[in-house]
Structure 1
């Protein structure tokens, strides 16, 4: 999976890149068909905001999630959890459709 990381009003450090890469590797363990990801980090006053768009080949072509926290690392954790839940739901839904189609 290719991860594009950009920052608005903040510098994207190597530590942030490594942390995001580590979290997204966990997502790839649950759903290995992610082609690429676009991550945008923002700072607005005291809030750290992060948004990610994952591109997947089937079903909804994109999985999008947003998170915000006063700490960027905590925001990344929240985002990864949201994406993880969405990917699991998508995977379960696609598996149940396949099982329903073959059972008839």
Structure 2
């Protein structure tokens, strides 16, 4: 999985890259068809905001996380992304199953109507 990591008022160091790779390795193993992630880490008014965007099976999915410290913000965003991807995967699997159909033949209904049940 390709991870595009960028910072807004934040310098992206090797430690941050390593932490991001570690956090998203679980997601890449659970969702092997996930091709890429766009991650933006920004520092706004003393808080770190992490925004993640991706395309998964034809739909755009995004997640955000915020905290006073950068690493918990990344972890929160990763957790939200994992939940959103699981939700989308459930929708896709739900569409694979057919709805149950009525197996009672129409003639059985007619026979019951003619019966004298008193």
Question: TM-score normalized by structure 2?
Answer: 0.79
Provide the residue aligned with 1:38 in structure 2.
38
Unaligned runs of 5+ in 2: 102-118
Please identify runs of 4+ aligned residues in structure 1 that moved more than 2 A: none
Provide the residue aligned with 1:70 in structure 2.
68
Provide the residue aligned with 1:53 in structure 2.
53
Q: Could you say what secondary structure the match of 1:75 adopts? A: helix
Unaligned runs of 5+ in 1: none
The within-5 A match list for 1:81-100 is 81-100=79-98
Question: How far apart are the structure 2 equivalents of 1:93 and 1:75?
Answer: 27
Structure with larger Rg: 2
Superimposed CA distance per residue, residues 59-101 of structure 1 (whole angstroms, 9 cap, x where no aligned partner):
41x2101110001100011001000100111111101111237
RMSD (Å), alpha carbons: 1.5
Question: TM-score normalized by structure 1?
Answer: 0.89
Native 8 Å contact 1:30 1:88 kept in 2: no
